[in-house]
Amino acid sequence: MGNAKQTFYGHTPGLVPGSVVYVGKKSTSDLFIDVFNYNKESYEEKELKNIEEAYSFIDSEPTTWINVNGLNHIETIEKLGRHCNLHPLILEDIVNTQQRPKIDEYDNYLFVVLKMIYFNEKGELSIEHISFVLGNGFVISFQESDGDVFDSIRNRIRNNKGRIRTMGSDYLLYILMDAIVDNYFNLIEVIGDKIEELEDDLFENKQNDNITYQIQTLKKEVLKIRRAVLPLREVVNRIEKSEHKLITKKIRLYLRDLYDHIIQVSENIEIYRDMIWGLMDMYMTTISNKMNEVMKVLTIIATIFIPLTFIAGIYGMNFEHIPELKFKYGYFVLWGVMIFIFVALIYFFKRKKWL
C-alpha cells in the first residue's frame, strides 16, 4: 500500500476504522527487525530477515524486546498483529505517524504511543512516531526509521548492567520510555543554549540579520516538543495508576519518578516558551530604539537648519531694497549669526542630553 491522503490531524478520510494505512512522509526505508531475548543468566541478540522469525521469541519464557524499523512495511506489521492478536485499531495507530501520545489498555496487552524527538544531521528538529506493545513477557517497539535513543539500553542488556535483566517486560517498557524522556532534557538544554546566545546578541547589539528567523525557528521547536510532552503526562499517569495485570506493583515507583521527569520537562518548556516571547519583545524594542535614535539625529539636524534656512531665505528674496545688503560687513555678520545659532543649538541639545 502507498501513502494515504491525510487531513491536518492525521486521519484518512473515507476509510473504515481499523484500516492499516501508512500515514506519514513517503519513505523507502528498508525493514529492519532486531530482537533481544534475555534473563538474569544470559541474553540473545539477533537481527531478523522476516517477522515470522520473531514469533518463537514472543512465545518464549524469558523477556523479549522486538524492535521493528519501517512503518511503511504494512504487510509485516499486519502479520505481527495477527500473531499477537492485536486489535485493528492498534495497527492503525502504529502506522499513523500523526497520532498523538496515548495509552490504550486491552485484556492481554497495553499499547503506548510516544514521540521520539532529535536534531537531524542538518541541525533541524525531527519528530519520529514510536509505539510500544507490552505483552506477557515481551515488548514490541515500532519506529519510522533506523536510529533511536535506545543504545544505552541495548548495552545494559549486553553487559548485564543495572537491574534490567532481573526485571520483567513492564520494566523494559519503563526504561524505553525513560530513555525518550531523558532525550527531551538534552533537547531543551540545546534550546536553552540557543536562547542564551540570542539574548547575548541582543544585549550586545551584535549584527545578526537572521535573528527573527532564529527566534521563529526556536518557537517552532519548542512548540513541537510541547505537543509531544504535554499528552505524555496523562500517559504515564494512567500507566502508574493502572490495575492492569501486566503492570506490577514494584514498577509503579519508577513510573512515578518518570512522571516527575515529565513534569520537569514541561515546566522547562513553558519557561523557555516565555523566554522566546521575551526575546521577540526585546528584539522589537531594540529595533524601535534604533529607529528612535535615527529619528532623533534627523530631527536635530532639521532643527538646526530651520533657523539657518529661514535667514538664508530672507536674504535670498528678490526685493530691491534690503538695507543689510549694502552693509560693508553684512556677509560676515550673517555668517557670524548663523554660526552662533548653530553653536547655541548644539549646546542646548547637549545640556538637555539629547546628544
3-class secondary structure, 288: helix
Beta strands in the chain (DSSP E): 32-38, 43-48, 63-69, 102-105, 110-119, 125-135, 138-143
Q: Read off the pLDDT of residues 142-189 as tens digits, 9 standing for 90 and up.
A: 998 877 889 999 999 999 998 999 999 999 999 999 999 999 999 999
Mean pLDDT of 263-278: 93
* Residue-wise pLDDT tens digits, 245-261: 999 998 999 999 999 99
Confidence (pLDDT) at 5? 44
Give the pLDDT mean for 49-59: 88
pLDDT digits (tens, 9 = 90+) for 286-340: 888 888 888 988 998 899 889 989 888 887 777 777 777 777 788 888 889 889 9
Tell me the average pLDDT across 103-107.
Answer: 93
Residue 237 has pLDDT above 70, yes or no: yes
pLDDT for 29-49, tens place per residue?
678 999 999 999 999 999 998
Name the amino acid, one letter, at 141.
Answer: S
pLDDT computed for residue 91 by the predictor: 93
Mean pLDDT calculated for residue range 59-84: 90
The pTM assigned to this predicted structure is 0.79
pLDDT for res 28: 55
Q: Mean pLDDT across the stretch 3-19?
A: 52
Q: In what order do the strands lie in the sheet with 110-119?
A: 43-48, 32-38, 63-69, 138-143, 125-135, 110-119, 102-105
> What domains lie within the chain, and their CATH numbers?
32-285 (3.30.460.20), 297-351 (1.20.58.340)
Q: What is the pLDDT of residue 146?
A: 77
Percent pLDDT > 70 in the chain is 93
Which residues, 6 or more positions from 260, have their beta carbon under 8 angstroms from its beta carbon? none
Q: What is the average pLDDT value for the chain, to the nearest integer? A: 87
Q: Please tell me the distance from the alpha carbon of residue 130 to that of residue 128, in angstroms, as a whole number.
A: 6
Q: Percentage of residues in the chain with pLDDT exceeding 90?
A: 52
Looking at residue 205, its pLDDT comes to 73
SS3 for 56? helix
* pLDDT band per the 50, 70, 90 thresholds, residue 6: very low
Considering only CA atoms, which of 192, 197, 199, 191 is closest in space to residue 280?
199
135-147 pLDDT tens trace: 999 999 999 887 7
Q: Is the torsion defined by CA of 196, 202, 206, 207 positive or negative?
A: positive
